[in-house]
Amino acid sequence: MKVLVIGSGAREHALVWKISTSSLVDKIYAAPGNAGVSQIAQIVEISPDNLSELEKFVRKNKIDLTLVGPELPLSMGIVDLFQKKKLKIFGPVQKAAAMESSKVFAKQFMHKYHIPTASYQVFQKFDEAAQFVRYANFPLIVKADGLAYGKGAFKVNDDEQAVDVLKKIMLEKIFGESGNQVVIEDFLQGEEVSVMAITDGKTILPLLLVQDHKTLLDGDQGPNTGGMGAYSPVPFVDQKLQDTIHDKILKPTIAGLKKEGIFYQGILYAGLMLTSSGPKVLEYNCRLGDPEAQAVLPLLETDLVEIVQAALKEKLDQIKLKWKTGYSVCVVLASAGYPGDYQKGKEIKGTEEISEQEVYCFHAGTKISQNKLVTAGGRVLAVTAVGKTLGKALDKVYNAVDKIYFEGMQYRKDIAYKATEVKKYA
């Protein structure tokens, strides 16, 4: 069969790599892909937001299955379009994708269906939001309503800081129309984990839990990014807590959407805070996380294409996921200046030296220029290693990172430090 993967990041490289191991697949296309993806898939120069051209390409080339990596085409309704044209595509429809594309919709949905989350207020006017924070208890979280690619949530510690963030989002429009509304919510204390599940609208198959590292600098310092690294599984979350997450969050989410007349089929991702009063939802996403996908997919033994096909036929109850024993760690290498204005065109050296078994170099912002591999984005590479223990996976991944160099390269040196602190791995 022919498969198209939409997107250009390391998540999509990991998806293409995983799909390439399936005996069901003869040919993989990627739109638009990147330098790493081009080694295992045919690159298609179509932007992920050009839905009509993607649909034409799929029809013309008789693509059997399309997988969507990023959130933008999902929020624009690519699944609705493909379904209307009787083309097989895996992901939630536009109304379901509003769980990610509108923080306001998601918060109101959680409140309605009693899904645990932080208390919140919604504001459409800057003056009203600014007035609210002047008399609020801190810290608080301020979020842009719409898509902001992992950078739209700000922790604020006082009213001056809060007003400054509100100005940037609502008046200066640093996230464009995504800042037309804001959510201001209570700050939740605890450990953050990512729960990704595959659902056919009835059955929910959770993937291994992941802990992402969102801030730029070691020790969870610095500005928020799209994610600087991740590891899986999470050793301090036991089966009892996983069952609670399934019963109190995932199951009621799918059931609530059904009551709203929304059939959710695809990836359901819940970013959770494990608080002293139980797990609470920070946000929903409607696709695989990045870098979470790069940490989870190398541990998955079950054929991903088989899983997706079963989900599309609403037969996910017939699938049992198989996982490798051990741990996976992903470290993101970013350009100088990221997550702000970053440099491009810097030559990347050393990727060809990575040859150790179960070490993967997933490309994100890369391209070939004058026969050289160069940087072309904020997050450049996602280096992932699998090991029998978390310690071995960490050794492998940082040994690989040490072989890579580009001018201005920045990365966190403490990925999985929280797991190593709790000392629950062998």
Break the chain into its structural domains and give their ranges. 2-91, 125-180, 191-422
pLDDT digits (tens), the chain, 426 positions: 999 999 999 999 999 999 999 999 999 999 999 999 999 999 999 999 999 999 999 999 999 999 999 999 999 999 999 999 999 999 999 999 999 999 999 999 999 999 999 999 999 999 999 999 999 999 999 999 999 877 899 999 999 999 999 999 999 999 999 999 999 999 999 999 999 999 999 999 999 999 999 999 999 999 989 999 999 999 999 999 999 999 999 999 999 999 999 999 999 999 999 999 999 999 999 999 999 999 999 999 999 999 999 999 999 999 999 999 999 999 999 999 999 999 999 999 999 999 899 999 999 999 999 999 999 999 999 999 999 999 999 999 999 999 999 999 999 999 999 886 544 322
* 191-422 CATH, one of 3.90.79.10, 3.30.2290.10, 3.40.640.10, 3.30.470.20: 3.30.470.20
Q: Please give the structure tokens belonging to residue 10.
A: 């390391």
- Work out the burial of residue 291: count CB atoms within 10 Å of its CB; fewer than 13 is exposed, 13-18 middle, 19 or more buried: buried
Nearest to 282 by CA among 101, 153, 93, 124: 153
- Which helix (H) or strand (E) covers residue 212, if one does? strand 211-212
pLDDT at 141: 96
pLDDT at 150: 76
* 2-91 CATH, one of 3.40.50.2300, 3.40.50.11740, 3.40.50.20, 3.50.30.20: 3.40.50.20
- Which helix (H) or strand (E) covers residue 294, if one does? helix 292-296
Q: Please give the structure tokens belonging to residue 268.
A: 């359901």
| Residues 187 and 128: beta-carbon distance below 8 Å | no
pLDDT at 420: 67
**How long is the chain?**
426
Q: Looking at this protein, which amino acid is placed at residue 398?
A: Y
- Contacts of residue 18, defined as CB under 8 A and 6 or more positions apart, other chains included, come to 297, 300, 304
pLDDT at 151: 84
Domains 125-180 and 191-422 share a fold: no
Using N-to-C axis directions, what is the helix angle for 126-134 and 159-166, rounded to 10°? Answer: 170
Q: What is the CATH number assigned to the segment(s) 125-180?
A: 3.30.1490
Nearest to 296 by CA among 203, 380, 360: 360
Distance CA 157, CA 22 (A): 49
| Residues 358 and 295: beta-carbon distance below 8 Å | no
Peptide bond preceding 32 in cis form (omega within 30 of 0): yes
Nearest to 284 by CA among 147, 165, 129, 80: 147
pLDDT at 422: 43
